[in-house]
Structure 1
Amino acid sequence: MKTMSADRQLIRFAMAAPYLDRDKEHDLAVRWKDSQDQDARNQIAHAHMRLVIAMASKFRGFGLPLADLIQEGYIGLLEAAARFEPAREVRFSTYAGWWIRASMQDYILRNWSIVRGGTSSSQKALFFNLRRLRAKLAQGDQRLTDQAIHQEIASALGVSLADVQTMDARLAGNDASLQAPAFNGNGNGGEGEKLDMLVSDAPQPDELVTGIIDGERRLKWLNSAMGRLNPRESRIIKARRLSENGATLEELGTELGISKERVRQIESRAMEKLKEALTQCDPMIGEMA
């Protein structure tokens, strides 16, 4: 009730402001532009509060308080007053309309959802026109499917069909808090929150510990097995199998002064030695190999 009373008071205040004719408006604008006369600027702004309220009423469908929309519109109105050029011979209401609308739209985009949307001009046009165009198309032909309606809107606004479908889905539902109670299959509230039900791809703590222990054990086995190789076999295995950028047979042949076929044979024999040694540590390695 207090909010509605405040809205009515604000509207009455705006409606009580006198209209400005072209000459008076121009005189006030010149006083503000040339002399930074704050009173002149305030008179211009006060006289155009009706315009702010009229525009705010058009955006009430987004569920935000009218008083907040009016306040944001007033900020845009003051910005317009600060930038207005009386020498252009344009009525202030024509110039201010863009600033008022832009200020309100920016406020709606920032507060309508916790997920930021409408960051480009095409996305803004889609956000503010989708509902209107959808209702118009549905009323004109009730046989149209959602797919057809989305396609018509995409063509009308010059955006992709995927953008229209994504925005329509966003506008169809409100933000859901992860701190809201979780519900069981019977529709009754559970003991936890929705956040507790999110599936994580991260390994469980016991899996992390097991992985660390297994990794250390396998590294110990590998070092032990590598100790059974002679220096040339060890060099080839490290260069070919244990290096991030494995060396080629030809490169190792040049380094060791042997043919690449001989390098391949030594590598094959070394791998058999490693397999035998590791199988003795863990029989499962022999089965997987």
Structure 2
Amino acid sequence: MVHETFDRTLVKAAMRAPYLEREEERDLAIRWKEKHDQQALHRITTSHMRLVISMASKFRHFGLSMGDLIQEGHVGLLEAAARFEPERDVRFSTYATWWIRASIQDYILRNWSIVRGGTSSAQKALFFNLRRLRARLAQGPETLSNVAIRRQISMALGVSEADVALMDSRLSASDTSLNAPLLDDSGSTAERSDFLVSDGPLPDEIVEETIDVERRAGWLKNALGVLNEREMKIIEERRLSEDGATLESLGETLGISKERVRQIESRALEKLKSALIKQGSGFLAA
């Protein structure tokens, strides 16, 4: 009720505000820019509140408060006044239109849904033009399928058909909380989140796996310390590198036969196994 009273009062005040002639508007803009005359700013913004209200009304179908849309448009109007250059031969209303629309649209994108959308210019254009384009295509002389309509919208706005379909589904239904209650056949109440099943590991399993991986990595690092330089090189090249080296290539690098490389690798693996068993036994005993 308070919001409605505020809206009516604001609209009446805007309708009573006199229009500004071009020269008067220019003089006020110069006074505000050069002298920061607050009275001049007030007259400029007051005389253009009709424009704010008119533009805000074009976005009322998004389900947000008209009063909030007008206030956001007023923010854009003040931004336009701060940036306006009176020496240019442009009416203030023409310049302010972009800032008012941008401020209102940004507010809608922030508050229309808990899921942020319109993060790019193409997505923003899709959000604000999808309904209008769909309605226009549906009223055309040809009867188009949903697929054909989405294809034409995607071409008109430069986005993918998948983006059009996703935005279409978002605009056709409101957000639903995962904590919203659902009444089942037995009469008991559950939440939507109770029916979401995850195939991933539980948090305690993730932590346990992380700890085990770190522990095994530490054991391996310590066990590698029992190897001599040549054994370490063979194990690193054969077992620890992404592309395991062949016995032949290692033999050529070390100047030994591939059979000798195999023997050294086998002995190094036995040494590693013994060192790891020893560390594991010590851990269990502790």
* Structure 1 stretch displaced more, 203-212 or 19-28: 203-212
Spell out, residue by residue over 1:253-285, the C-alpha distance to the aligned partner (whole angstroms, 9 max, x if none).
257653225545x48988xx99xxxxxxxxxxx
Residue identity matched to 2:251? G
CA distance in 1, matches of 2:265, 2:171: 63
1:33 maps onto 2:33 in alignment: yes
State whether residues 14 and 46 of structure 2, in contact with CA within 8 Å, keep that contact through their aligned partners in structure 1.
yes
State whether residues 182 and 194 of structure 1, in contact with CA within 8 Å, keep that contact through their aligned partners in structure 2.
no
* Structure 1 stretch displaced more, 199-208 or 23-32: 199-208
Change (3 A) 1:237 1:163: same
Residue identity matched to 2:246? T
**Partner residue, 2:247:** 249
**Partner residue, 1:201:** 200
Residue identity matched to 2:166? T
- 1:213 shift after superposition: 8.1
- 1:193 shift after superposition: 4.8
CA distance in 2, matches of 1:182, 1:209: 35
Change (3 A) 1:123 1:211: closer
- 1:209 shift after superposition: 5.5
**Partner residue, 1:259:** 257
Can you give the 5+ residue segments of structure 1 that lack an aligned partner in the other structure? 221-230, 275-289
**Partner residue, 1:45:** 45
Spell out, residue by residue over 1:162-192, the C-alpha distance to the aligned partner (whole angstroms, 9 max, x if none).
22222212212222222222454x4966334
Residue identity matched to 1:46? T
CA distance in 1, matches of 2:28, 2:215: 81
Structure 1 SS opposite 2:119: coil
- 1:212 shift after superposition: 7.5
**Partner residue, 1:284:** none
Q: Percent identity among equivalent residues?
A: 56
Change (3 A) 1:194 1:81: same
**Partner residue, 2:190:** 191
Spell out, residue by residue over 1:128-162, the C-alpha distance to the aligned partner (whole angstroms, 9 max, x if none).
11100101111225731111001111222232222
Residue identity matched to 1:50? R
The count of residues paired between Structure 1 and Structure 2 equals 266
CA distance in 1, matches of 2:119, 2:233: 56
CA distance in 1, matches of 2:97, 2:205: 62
CA distance in 1, matches of 2:187, 2:141: 41
Q: TM-score, normalised by structure 2?
A: 0.76
CA distance in 1, matches of 2:158, 2:25: 39
CA distance in 1, matches of 2:104, 2:91: 21
- 1:120 shift after superposition: 2.1
